[in-house]
Amino acid sequence: MINSIFVMSPTGEVIIEKHYRGYISRTCCELFWNEVQQASNPSEVKPVMVTPKYYVIHVQRYGMFFIAVVQRDVIPLLVTEFLHRVVDVFRDYFNEVSEESIKENFITVYQIMDEMMDNGIPMTTEPNVLKTMIVPPTILGRVATSMGVSDKSNLNSDLPEGMLSSIWWRRKGVKYTNNEIYLDIIEEIDCSIDTNGLMVTCDVSGEVLVNCKLSGMPDMTLSFTNPSIIDDVNFHPCVRLSRYERDQVMSFVPPDGKFKLASYSVNTTGQAVTLPLYVKPQIHFSGTSGRVNVMVGPKSNLAGRTIEDVVITIPFTKNIATNNLSVNHGTAHFDDASKVLRWEIGKVPKEKSPCLNGSVSLVPGTETPESGPTILVDFKIVMFSASGLKIDALTMSGERYKPYKGVRFVTKAGRFQVRS
Amino acid sequence: MAPGGLFVDHKKGEVTEMKNKLRDSSIDKDPKQKRAIMERVVGYMTLGIGRCHVALQLLSAYVDADMSPLFSEMIMATATKDLVQKKMCYLYLSNYASMQSEMALLVINTLLKDFHDEDPMVRGLALRCLCSLRVNNILEYLVDPVVKGLQDASPYVRKTAVMCVLRIRDLSEDIIPDRHLVHQIFNLLNDRDPQVRAGDDVVANAVNALLELQGRTGLSLLIGNKNIIIRLLQRIREFNEWSQCLILEVIAEFKPNSDDERFEIMNFLDERLSHGNSSVVLATVKVFLNLTQDRPELQKQVVQRVRSPLISLMTGSSPEVAFVLMKHIIILIKLAPGAFDDEYTSFYARYSDPQYLQNLTEENQNLKIKALSLVVNLSNFISIVDELGSLVSSYYPALSKEVALLYLYPLVSLTLVVLSYSSLSHPQALRAMGDIAVRLPRAAPLVSDKIVVLLRRNDPVVANECIAVARDILRKYPPLSAILLQSLTEAFYEVKEDDAKVSLLWVLGQFGNDIPEAPYLIEPMIDEWEEETDPAVRCEMLTTAVKLFFQRPGEMQAMLGRLLKFAIADVSNVDVHDRALFYYRILSVDLDTVIYNMPEQRWLSEEALKARYVVADAAVAAGVISDEQKAGTDLLDLLDEPVPSSRGRADPLDDSSMPLEPSPSLSPEAFQDVWMQLGGGEPFIISFSRDSSAQEIELLLSHNNVRVMAQGQASPNQHKFFFYAKTIGGPLILCETTLDISSKTLTSLVKCNDADLIPAFFIHFKMSLTPLMA
């Protein structure tokens, strides 16, 4: 299936190349890089590119390009998903994915890629299983290896017994002194609001992230008081799908460590989602100047929670010459190169509504924009669920100890956009 | 390790040092330390792979990372029980065997020895390593171990062996049939091993190998065997996600014999749609679609079923995945039109979407907008058109505007077709259409055409909106008047809505020269001033009348005069009153300039303005005229001042005309009284050489101080007037005139106190009408 995988730095240097089925020259990467350079922005390059001999499929993450070269038709999305998985594993191993982190962990990278794919077919892609085979580098270990005095190999002494068990995502004999399991339910609101303040689209999607530090082979059951809110859901392979179909209960033996249990979308057709905050922009251009007024404030339905990390981004047109914009709360920064205004509000105060005010002037002789820019909004509310999803119970069986269970809801802005 | 630690040059002595360490038997006792050394060896080696081009590597151009001197030590190290060390040795060996052919045989022997190890893990690893060696003439050493491996007791070895068959194939095609390898692999499909997981891997690998070795034949081998398919289906949950995709690909080709079988498979796979891996979901969708290929109604249900998983995957995933999903969704929409209609908001462009989702791809397809154009229906098109409309005007990159326009075009035509055939009226949609037409030059003629069609439907609600849209279109694209004017004129009398009246009046004023009957369309409205109560309509009437006056002064003057009179007299609305007064004053400054010269030069040039103020201010200062007067006090002056027509002025007969009072005042009652008193009177007849209208006659006469008291249509062919005039200081002259349009004759009866004046008046009357007799 996949012939070769290349990892390319943001500057077009091939850092990693791994050939699974014979050697493929780097020229197809050059073809790809040409495309990138021709595009006004790298993100404009289509994910699938056809060259005379190969299909070049790539994903872009953290500014890097992860490129797979295939020769024949493949199952749709399999390659894309696999590349994303490779990046996920890298991040899991090195905490960050960047040119430096990959160069630093060169050997580990090759080992991982060796295990993840055999003869072009994805093999072991579950980070937890991979970690039983290749131990992630630690800072201490790295220093030691470089000095040649390491006594700790980053190859595990055992081959993955996980490969042979029916619960292949969890290794045997896990032991913790404190048995804990943490659930983060993170919901994102994606919405577009038109110039009249009406909602054009609104989607709420969520993820259940688990950090599991439990000994042995625990069997978990997670149930919700209002599961009907969940419209469509995709699970980690450990979740018993048939059980969920039947009882709408997530039953699973968790992998060890951090993993994503499920991602879901919320049924927004029935009742309209009430947004936690409002943003009222008034941006008008006439002639060579424009008036800007943006108001932000909380709506009342927050049950006492405060909105944090509020950031308003206004990408103005490129022909803005000068501006005298001021805010009554937080800090606003206008980037002259990109003409983007970034207004960091932080916590929304209760007593007043933050307000951005002022005017901008356009470069004379340039076109007056027909309408204002689309404003991007970012925020976070802890212990608040936009969808109203509630956990009924998280129970454990199969082990004797009593685990500590922690649940945290977070609502964030996804692609939250206000047109002006 | 410091950043790029392995990238730094190292001392030559290091290789020797490592060699010594590897030979040191004392280290053998400490597996950890030995492992560390080997790891270093492998590390440097991989560095070579990473840094140099593989082709260069074969030329051993990477001197500083060359670990080949350690070859014999590494071979010796292979003989260890420690799996990790073994793994590293294998890595090393498979890399260097290809470069040092004299060493290759040694390596092969070592690996073959390991292949007979007790530990299945070692056997598997050795087999894998053996098959990855890039050494000439290795085939003879490979085949036997692989065949043996296929029958190994351990699933791990079997699994590895299956993959090795593929490697053998790459070396020699012939060996596969010779050793019946396909058959052997096929048998592995029934692999039942207590060690579930590995057993499944064997099956998955076997499927994969069969497909690769045999292509379509392999596939038909698989789907021809129902037992295998059932087994694969039942166990699909146990496979890893990638193998699930593979198996779903196979099942997609399976042709069920009955509906029961079909439904059974679908029920079984239904839960796969909730899998976190999008490729599994897509593969499942493929199975569903293939299963229902010959049953279109079922297929539609299937599309309904897979809709929501696909949409939520698309909205929540990375742009790359969304791209592929959008491509598939568009195919599905075409397959089952209507299925995705309710999800149309998911296809709205987002600011942060990468370009290829919202922008041109090489086939000129903006995926999301294309999808939108496909899901549009009666209930959602208003919002979609609206959204696209806002996309056009919004801040999105210029390219995306272009594309939105591209797709708006068919959408506009679609919407309008829907409108013209549905009995519903959609004012909102029509308004959106107008919006689009104004923004999209290409759509404007089309929208115009449709508006003509819609106007003919005589639906008052639709007509009102159409007129508003037509007005906007004409504003932006005046040339389109060729299409629109005809039906707009026809619509003039049908219209009841005030808004529409305003729009039509504007059109009338703007295109007065292109609408022959323009003055006569507005005339009834003027005469029914009292009935047009809406201030907006009244204001627009004023503006239109003035505009028309500029274009066709002859026909308009009297009408305008009446209108101004009505409007100035009417104080119910300040705006209307003021506007009338304003027009009146402007016009009364210098009518000549207004009509025949360029008014803006006369009125709007700075000198002219200054001069006017200077004169007026001086007059006020001198006490000659009051402020009131400066603004013009005699409101009806305009009515009485004849419009000096250029032709009229050149007419030599003008001088011989009868001395008549320019502004005689006579009330209708007085007229009637005088007319009754006088009795008798002299008749005379004038014949015209060409068609003439009542308005023309009236106008020409009023130029010469013969006023009309009343006029009207007596019969279809006859028009009746009552004229009056007053000699300076003398008596009144009254005249009843009938215009016969068919015979082009004007029959008049003139009455006057002083009968001597009648012939002179007759000459004056005839002179005034000379233009009609020329």
Could you count the other beta carbons within 10 Å of the beta carbon of residue B228?
Answer: 19
pLDDT the model gives residue B54: 39
Comparing alpha-carbon positions, the chain A residue that sits nearest to B211 is A1
Rounded Cα distance, B146 and B148, in Å? 5
Contacts of B36 in chain A (CB under 8 A): 145, 148-151, 153
Ranking B19-28, B255-264, B728-737, B764-773 by mean pLDDT, the lowest is: B19-28
Judgement on whether residues B683 and B743 belong to the same structural domain of the protein: yes
Helix (H) or strand (E) holding A418: strand A404-419
Unique residue bearing structure tokens 């099942």:
B251
Residue B188 Cα, gap to closest chain A Cα (Å): 17
What single-letter DSSP state applies at residue A67?
Answer: E
Residue B766 structural domain: 668-772
A370:B356 CB<8 A: no
Residue A351 Cα, gap to closest chain B Cα (Å): 32
pLDDT the model gives residue B63: 36
- Computed on alpha carbons and rounded to an integer, the radius of gyration of chain A in Å comes to 25
The answer to whether the beta carbons of residues B647 and B700 sit under 8 Å apart is: no
SS3 content of chain A, % helix, strand, coil (to 5): 20, 45, 40
Domain limit, last residue, from B591, B606, B625: B625
Asked if B278 has any chain A CB less than 8 Å from its own CB, the reply is: yes
Judgement on whether residues B620 and B501 belong to the same structural domain of the protein: yes
Quick check: A151 pLDDT over 50?
no
Choice between B415 and B147, residue whose per-residue pLDDT is larger? B147
- Total structural domains within chain B: 3
Rounded Cα distance, B149 and B159, in Å? 9
Ranking A43-57, B403-417, B624-638, B746-760 by mean pLDDT, the lowest is: B624-638
User: Hey, of A234, A368, A412, which one would you mutate to test binding to chain B, going by the most B CBs within 10 A of its CB?
Assistant: A234
Choice between B713 and A146, residue whose per-residue pLDDT is larger? B713
Chain A (238-297) residues lying within 8 Å, Cβ to Cβ, of chain B: 241-242, 244-245, 260, 262-265, 269
Helix (H) or strand (E) holding A357: strand A355-362
pLDDT the model gives residue A208: 92
Contacts of A146 in chain B (CB under 8 A): 1-2, 5
Q: Which fold has domain A180-273+384-419?
A: Immunoglobulin-like (2.60.40)
Judgement on whether residues B686 and B756 belong to the same structural domain of the protein: yes
Asked if A200 has any chain B CB less than 8 Å from its own CB, the reply is: yes
Is residue B322 in a domain?
Answer: no
pLDDT the model gives residue B414: 58
What single-letter DSSP state applies at residue B67?
Answer: -
Nearest Cα to Cα of residue B306 among B341, B349, B272, B264: B272
Ranking A410-414, B197-201, B531-535, B655-659 by mean pLDDT, the lowest is: B655-659
Asked if B352 has any chain A CB less than 8 Å from its own CB, the reply is: yes
Chain A (354-383) residues lying within 8 Å, Cβ to Cβ, of chain B: 369-374, 376
pLDDT the model gives residue A83: 92
Q: Which among A106, A154, A235 is the nearest to B275, CB-wise?
A: A235
Ranges of each domain in chain A: 2-128, 180-273+384-419, 277-382
Phi, psi (deg, nearest 5) at residue A251 = -115, 130
What's the mean per-residue pLDDT of chain B?
72
Q: How confident is the model at residue A183 (pLDDT cuts 50, 70, 90)?
A: very high
Residue B321 Cα, gap to closest chain A Cα (Å): 7
In angstroms, the Cα distances linking B111 to B37, B106, B128, B129, B157 are 22, 9, 10, 8, 14
Write down the H helix ranges in B422-497: 427-439, 443-455, 460-476, 481-491
Asked if B379 has any chain A CB less than 8 Å from its own CB, the reply is: no
Is residue B642 in a domain?
Answer: no
Quick check: A209 pLDDT over 80?
yes
Beta bridge partners of A416: A191, A377
Could you count the other beta carbons within 10 Å of the beta carbon of residue A230?
Answer: 18
Token pair belonging to A156: 């595990």
Quick check: A231 pLDDT over 70?
yes
- Computed on alpha carbons and rounded to an integer, the radius of gyration of chain B in Å comes to 49
Phi, psi (deg, nearest 5) at residue B162 = -60, -45
Contacts of B394 in chain A (CB under 8 A): 370-371, 374, 419
Contacts of B283 in chain A (CB under 8 A): 75-76
* A2-128 and A277-382, same CATH topology: no
Q: Which fold has domain A277-382?
A: Immunoglobulin-like (2.60.40)
Mean pLDDT is highest, among A57-71, A151-165, B395-409, for A57-71
Judgement on whether residues B514 and B605 belong to the same structural domain of the protein: yes
Pairing status of strand A55-61 against strand A48-50: antiparallel
pLDDT the model gives residue A101: 87
Residue A144 Cα, gap to closest chain B Cα (Å): 7
Comparing alpha-carbon positions, the chain A residue that sits nearest to B367 is A46
Rounded Cα distance, B248 and B718, in Å? 89
For residue B95, the one-letter residue type is: N
User: Hey, of A155, A191, A200, A268, which one would you mutate to test binding to chain B, going by the most B CBs within 10 A of its CB?
Assistant: A155
The answer to whether the beta carbons of residues B200 and B238 sit under 8 Å apart is: yes
Quick check: B52 pLDDT over 60?
no
Quick check: B29 pLDDT over 80?
no
B320:A58 CB<8 A: yes
Is residue B49 in a domain?
Answer: yes
Mean pLDDT is highest, among A381-390, B149-158, B410-419, for A381-390
Rounded Cα distance, A26 and A38, in Å? 19
B276:A373 CB<8 A: no
Q: Residue B755 is part of a domain; what is its CATH number? A: 3.30.310.10
- Sign for the CA dihedral angle at B475, B476, B479, B482 comes to negative
Is residue B209 in a domain?
Answer: no
B276:A415 CB<8 A: no
Chain B (675-714) residues lying within 8 Å, Cβ to Cβ, of chain A: none
Residue A342 Cα, gap to closest chain B Cα (Å): 16
Q: Which among A45, A61, A81 is the nearest to B279, CB-wise?
A: A81
Residue A265 Cα, gap to closest chain B Cα (Å): 6
Quick check: A66 pLDDT over 90?
yes
Residue A263 Cα, gap to closest chain B Cα (Å): 8
Quick check: B5 pLDDT over 60?
no
Comparing alpha-carbon positions, the chain A residue that sits nearest to B163 is A119
Rounded Cα distance, B119 and B111, in Å? 14
ipTM given for this complex: 0.73
Rounded Cα distance, B309 and B283, in Å? 13
Mean pLDDT is highest, among A213-217, A368-372, B8-12, B73-77, for A213-217
Helix (H) or strand (E) holding A279: strand A277-286
In words, the CATH class of domain A2-128 is: alpha beta
Nearest Cα to Cα of residue A171 among A111, A214, A137: A214
Contacts of B277 in chain A (CB under 8 A): 81, 234
The answer to whether the beta carbons of residues B484 and B470 sit under 8 Å apart is: yes
What letters, b where the CB count within 10 A reaches 16 and e where it falls short, cover B587-604? bbeebeebbeeebeebee
Is residue B674 in a domain?
Answer: yes
Percent with pLDDT over 90 in chain A: 11
Quick check: A325 pLDDT over 70?
yes
Rounded Cα distance, A420 and A281, in Å? 6
A242:B271 CB<8 A: yes
Give the pLDDT mean for B601-613.
57
The answer to whether the beta carbons of residues B250 and B285 sit under 8 Å apart is: no
Residue A175 Cα, gap to closest chain B Cα (Å): 23
Quick check: B1 pLDDT over 80?
no
What's the mean per-residue pLDDT of chain A?
82
pLDDT the model gives residue A181: 92
Quick check: B408 pLDDT over 70?
no
Q: Which among A22, A43, A419 is the nearest to B390, CB-wise?
A: A419
Choice between B367 and B256, residue whose per-residue pLDDT is larger? B256
Unique residue bearing structure tokens 């048995």:
A179
Q: How confident is the model at residue B260 (pLDDT cuts 50, 70, 90)?
A: confident
pLDDT the model gives residue B363: 41
Comparing alpha-carbon positions, the chain B residue that sits nearest to A149 is B36
Unique residue bearing structure tokens 């919700």:
A224
pLDDT in tens, B530-568: 888 888 888 888 888 888 888 887 788 888 888 888 888
A48:B271 CB<8 A: no
Helix (H) or strand (E) holding B229: helix B226-234
Contacts of B146 (CB under 8 A, 6+ apart): B127, B131, B161, B164, B165, B168
Contacts of A122 in chain B (CB under 8 A): 240, 242
Comparing alpha-carbon positions, the chain A residue that sits nearest to B252 is A75
Choice between A14 and B6, residue whose per-residue pLDDT is larger? A14
Rounded Cα distance, B561 and B568, in Å? 10
Quick check: B717 pLDDT over 70?
yes
- Pick left, alpha or beta for residue B580 (phi over 0 → left; psi -120 to 50 → alpha; otherwise beta): alpha
Is residue B675 in a domain?
Answer: yes
Is residue B468 in a domain?
Answer: no
Give the pLDDT mean for B599-622.
55
Mean pLDDT is highest, among B247-261, B451-465, B617-631, B693-707, for B247-261
Quick check: A92 pLDDT over 50?
yes
Token pair belonging to B678: 């006088």
Domain limit, last residue, from B35, B51, B81: B81
pLDDT the model gives residue A77: 86
Rounded Cα distance, B662 and B670, in Å? 18
Contacts of B197 in chain A (CB under 8 A): 163-166, 168
Q: Which among A23, A156, A244 is the nearest to B54, CB-wise?
A: A23
What single-letter DSSP state applies at residue B63?
Answer: G
In angstroms, the Cα distances linking A41 to A44, B16, B356, B402, B403 are 6, 50, 11, 18, 18
Give the pLDDT mean for B379-395.
60
Please give the span between the terminal C-alpha atoms of chain B, in angstroms, as a whole number: 110
Asked if A339 has any chain B CB less than 8 Å from its own CB, the reply is: no
The answer to whether the beta carbons of residues B713 and B645 sit under 8 Å apart is: no
Judgement on whether residues B579 and B528 belong to the same structural domain of the protein: yes
Quick check: B402 pLDDT over 70?
no
Chain B (30-49) residues lying within 8 Å, Cβ to Cβ, of chain A: 32-33, 35-36, 39-40, 42-43, 46-47, 49
Give the pLDDT mean for A319-337.
87
Q: How confident is the model at residue B652 (pLDDT cuts 50, 70, 90)?
A: very low
Asked if A7 has any chain B CB less than 8 Å from its own CB, the reply is: no
Residue B277 Cα, gap to closest chain A Cα (Å): 7
Asked if A323 has any chain B CB less than 8 Å from its own CB, the reply is: no
Pairing status of strand B707-715 against strand A404-419: unpaired
User: Hey, of A70, A115, A153, which one would you mutate to test binding to chain B, going by the most B CBs within 10 A of its CB?
Assistant: A153
B3:A103 CB<8 A: yes
Rounded Cα distance, B372 and B383, in Å? 11
Comparing alpha-carbon positions, the chain A residue that sits nearest to B241 is A237
pLDDT in tens, B314-360: 877 777 888 888 888 888 888 887 777 777 777 776 665 665 554 43
**pTM of structure:** 0.62
Is residue B690 in a domain?
Answer: yes
pLDDT the model gives residue A163: 47
Token pair belonging to B593: 């300039």
Q: What is the dihedral of CA B236, B240, B242, B247, to 10 degrees?
A: -20
Choice between B48 and B730, residue whose per-residue pLDDT is larger? B730
Asked if A201 has any chain B CB less than 8 Å from its own CB, the reply is: yes
Q: How confident is the model at residue B392 (pLDDT cuts 50, 70, 90)?
A: low
Judgement on whether residues B606 and B706 belong to the same structural domain of the protein: no
Ranking A101-105, B412-416, B515-519 by mean pLDDT, the lowest is: B412-416
Ranking A275-279, B6-10, B474-478 by mean pLDDT, the lowest is: B6-10
Beta bridge partners of A203: A190
A46:B356 CB<8 A: yes
Chain B (292-321) residues lying within 8 Å, Cβ to Cβ, of chain A: 308-309, 311-313, 315-316, 318-321
Beta bridge partners of A409: A185
Judgement on whether residues B606 and B687 belong to the same structural domain of the protein: no
Chain B (179-198) residues lying within 8 Å, Cβ to Cβ, of chain A: 195-198
Give the pLDDT mean for B617-631.
48
Mean pLDDT is highest, among B107-121, B403-417, B440-454, for B107-121
Could you count the other beta carbons within 10 Å of the beta carbon of residue B571?
Answer: 9
Write down the H helix ranges in A56-166: 78-94, 99-104, 106-116, 127-133, 139-147
Contacts of A296 (CB under 8 A, 6+ apart): A277, A278, A279, A280, A310, A312, A345, A348, A353, A354, A355
Percent with pLDDT over 70 in chain A: 89
